Structure 1
């Protein structure tokens, strides 16, 4: 009798788990016809930490990204960003800066809340930036390619007709920075990048 009860319990548990597993499978199933795609623009500001932050200041950034939502809880985006990081160094003239030009990919995950209008999310990705020193700073600062691992956290609110607005914080782990090696005492340009931005866009 005990064995029969155990088998019955296992079978009922499997029966209850089956609908849940089916719903998860439906959420993860890619459907090209229902995949939402769109564009967003972002405006914000941020700056470098570490040695790179010792010689630069917080600066404005602007970006544009193309995104897709292949699954209910998972999305991807590809984007470009531009940013001006003012140089804070008395050895060079006023108004000099490092300009950052970035391309990157980001995978995002997050649930839909409040009747599918609110989506908090986290993301991780990869990117490459080109840092360009203005002419008046080139005696101490150099142009440089750096690789990035962006970590993001944000919140989007969806209005009608596919329009959404939100906010995002991104912390970019940087590798290969050499743009300020000649300007720092220990020849180290290391540091990561923190940006905070407002976003607005549309999905269709």
Structure 2
């Protein structure tokens, strides 16, 4: 049932959100051990909304879909920051062999290091980033004859822009390209063609957050 997909996903997101919060606290403690002053080590949380989808063979079977995420981060150095985040995403399955309304849900936990300077009176920060992550792909029950649940590893590469409205509030936009490894969720669906589920992921998000 589709409810099972949502319940399993919510459980995973809850666990991952806790992990992200712990990562932010650890980042703050690490900065303290390195004798960084409190006003230099900003720790914060942001929420993000966006859209994106799979590419390659995997993208032939799915459509771009919406995503929501939460990230906790710290800025232990002036031009270098770190973050841990979770994302949930729904990508509709485009396959005439199964019923309408079926989808692949993606639940992600990731880490990212970001580098970029503060410019424009220290309000604007363009940045690039790279990191690592893992996603759980969960097919709705009506698609399980051809699509399977799957864990995949990710190497995200990101570019973005943050704007600081004040010392505590910021907003931004980001594009991330995620290189995926170990995708097997659509191997059965592709058995008569490519036989695999190769493809990477491109997402674009807007963020709003605060630091303390």
Q: By the TM > 0.5 criterion, same fold?
A: yes
Structure with max Cα Rg: 1
Shift of 1:161: 4.5
Where does residue 201 of structure 2 map in the other structure? 193
Where does residue 110 of structure 1 map in the other structure? 116
Q: Which of 121, 132, 139 is equivalent to 2:138?
A: 132
What's the TM-score, normalizing by structure 2?
0.81
User: What secondary structure, in the 3-state scheme, does the structure 2 residue paired with 1:82 have?
Assistant: strand
Q: Is the 8 A contact 1:74 1:107 kept in 2?
A: yes
Where does residue 6 of structure 1 map in the other structure? none
Measure, in 1, the Cα distance between the counterparts of 2:197 and 2:91.
14
Q: Is the 8 A contact 1:52 1:191 kept in 2?
A: yes
In the TM superposition, what are the counterparts of 1:14-163 in structure 2 within 5 Å? 31-34=36-39, 35-163=41-169
Measure, in 2, the Cα distance between the counterparts of 1:96 and 1:77.
32
Where does residue 20 of structure 2 map in the other structure? none
Relative distance call for 1:37 and 1:87 in structure 2 (3 A) is same
User: What secondary structure, in the 3-state scheme, does the structure 1 residue paired with 2:163 have?
Assistant: strand
Q: What is the Cα-based RMSD across aligned positions, in Å?
A: 1.0
User: What secondary structure, in the 3-state scheme, does the structure 2 residue paired with 1:70 have?
Assistant: strand
Number of equivalent positions? 176
Instruction: Show structure 1 runs of 5+ residues with no match.
Output: 1-28
Measure, in 2, the Cα distance between the counterparts of 1:122 and 1:64.
19
Relative distance call for 1:77 and 1:100 in structure 2 (3 A) is same
Q: Which of 170, 175, 184 is equivalent to 2:176?
A: 170
Where does residue 31 of structure 2 map in the other structure? none
Measure, in 1, the Cα distance between the counterparts of 2:158 and 2:125.
14
Shift of 1:160: 1.9
